[in-house]
């Protein structure tokens, strides 16, 4: 059947080349549309950066300070984060179904702080990740750890499952207690994660040589916050990580254990997305009042 409409030839813009649709995120040139689209929900397309909030600590540590009540402590922060990293248990029980933030679902588990942490398995099926509308799946990788082989296998199996359905994988470089946290170690760990197919990698900032960790990793690196430190120090770390090639943060305790978590997220957004210096963000933060979670009356 020929077209019913007699469309004017000028509507086809025959002289205009077809748009070459690319998403400029590091390493994403060969991704399928669904994979790239999920990443574009996590990393703001305008700058390729993200402010993720990590609240998955309970999967091996229980209710850490600041996460005693995710419904009260965390839900008020969601408006200021690009993505939320958490377990399926907390997602189903404590996060509003109407939340629009992309979910980075923690899918590895298997040990508690009472045992050897590196002994993990994939603990969520790909079907459940899809059912939960996950934008990405996160897996711990213990390079050099006692169960290194098992954790690397978890990563590769997850990458295969993710590729089947267009769901990116976040590899988290977990550092065992006995390991040296230096650029040499993180170059090794981050590169292994990327070589094995992780679409983005979470790691730690190091004072010396972080730029070599970022440069040798062909996918975006985001940095964890680590233990709670002074807000000013956390902000300086983020500024330096960005200057040296990080694509954002996936911060937990330095946000939800702060006396000003909302203002801390504002400060992070201003550094990550709006080019503020850490000093400016910290000065602004100090002018903000302390915050209390909104507790509904019984
Ligand atoms: C657990 C994780 C956590 O999400 C991560 O360490 C949390 O961030 P922070 O260190 O900033 O509290 O991946 O291993």
Q: Residues 182-191: pLDDT tens digits?
A: 999 999 999 9
Q: Which of 112, 142, 252 to mutate to test the pocket of ligand 1 (most atoms within 8 A of CB)?
A: 252
The protein residue with its alpha carbon nearest to ligand 1, atom 1, reads 57
pTM of the predicted protein model? 0.95
Token code pair at residue 100: 């629009």
Tokens of 81: 């984060």
Residue 166, pLDDT above cutoff 90: yes
**Arithmetic mean of pLDDT, 189-205:** 98
> pLDDT, tens digit, for every residue of 210-227?
999 999 999 999 999 999
85 CB within 6 A, ligand 1: yes
Question: Cα–Cα distance between 234 and 255 in angstroms, integer?
Answer: 9
Q: Point out the ligand 1 atom lying closest to the alpha carbon of residue 54.
A: 4
pLDDT digits (tens, 9 = 90+) for 69-116: 999 999 999 999 999 999 999 999 999 999 999 999 999 998 989 988
Of 67 and 294, the structure prediction assigns the larger pLDDT to 67
Residue 47 CA: distances (Å) to CA of 26, 50, 130: 11, 9, 27
Q: Please say if the pLDDT value at position 292 is more than 70.
A: yes
> Catalytic positions, please?
202
Reported as type and span, the H/E element at residue 102 is none
pLDDT band for 46, please (50, 70, 90 cuts): very high
Q: Is the CB of 225 under 6 A from ligand 1?
A: yes
Q: Find out whether the beta carbon of 234 lies less than 6 Å from any atom of ligand 1.
A: no
Q: Which of 51, 52, 55, 56 for a ligand 1 pocket mutation test, highest count of atoms within 8 Å of Cβ?
A: 56
Band of residue 178 on the pLDDT scale cut at 50, 70, 90? low
Q: Pick from 142, 263, 138: which is nearest to 201 by CA?
A: 138
3-state SS assignment for residue 201: strand
Residue boundaries of the structural domains of the chain? 28-286
Chain CA centroid to CA 171, Å: 9
Fold of 28-286: TIM Barrel (3.20.20)
Q: Can you tell me whether residue 197 is helix, strand or coil?
A: coil
Does the beta carbon of 172 lie inside 6 Å of ligand 1? yes
- What average pLDDT does this structure show over 45-73? 95
Averaged pLDDT score across all residues of the chain: 94
Query: What share of the chain has pLDDT > 90, as a percent?
Result: 87
Ligand 1 atom 8: the closest Cα is on which residue?
Answer: 252
> What pLDDT does 3 receive?
66
């Amino acid at each position: 059947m020929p077209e019913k409409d007699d469309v004017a030839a000028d509507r086809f813009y025959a002289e205009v080349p077809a748009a070459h649709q690319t998403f400029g995120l590091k390493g994403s040139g060969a991704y399928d549309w669904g994979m790239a689209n999920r990443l574009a929900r996590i990393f703001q397309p305008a700058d390729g950066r993200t402010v993720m909030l990590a609240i998955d600590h309970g999967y091996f540590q229980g209710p850490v300070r600041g996460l005693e009540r995710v419904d009260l402590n965390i839900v008020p922060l969601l408006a200021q984060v690009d993505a939320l990293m958490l377990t399926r248990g907390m997602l189903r029980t404590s996060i509003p179904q109407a939340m629009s933030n992309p979910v980075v679902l923690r899918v590895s588990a298997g040990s508690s702080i009472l045992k050897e942490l590196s002994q993990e398995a994939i603990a969520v099926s790909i079907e459940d990740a899809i059912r939960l509308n996950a934008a990405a799946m996160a897996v711990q990788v213990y390079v050099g750890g006692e169960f290194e082989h098992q954790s690397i296998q978890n990563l590769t199996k997850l990458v295969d499952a993710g590729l089947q359905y267009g769901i990116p994988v976040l590899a988290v470089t977990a550092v065992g207690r006995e390991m040296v946290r230096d650029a040499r170690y993180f170059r090794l760990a981050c590169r292994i994660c990327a070589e094995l197919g992780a679409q983005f990698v979470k790691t730690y900032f190091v004072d010396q040589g972080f730029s070599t960790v970022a440069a040798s990793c062909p996918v975006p690196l985001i940095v964890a916050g680590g233990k709670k430190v002074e807000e000013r120090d956390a902000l300086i770390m983020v500024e330096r990580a960005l200057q040296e090639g990080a694509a954002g943060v996936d911060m937990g305790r330095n946000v939800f254990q702060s006396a000003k978590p909302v203002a801390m997220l504002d400060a992070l957004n201003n550094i990550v997305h709006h080019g503020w210096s850490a000093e400016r963000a910290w000065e602004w933060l100090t002018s903000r009042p302390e915050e209390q979670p909104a507790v509904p009356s019984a």
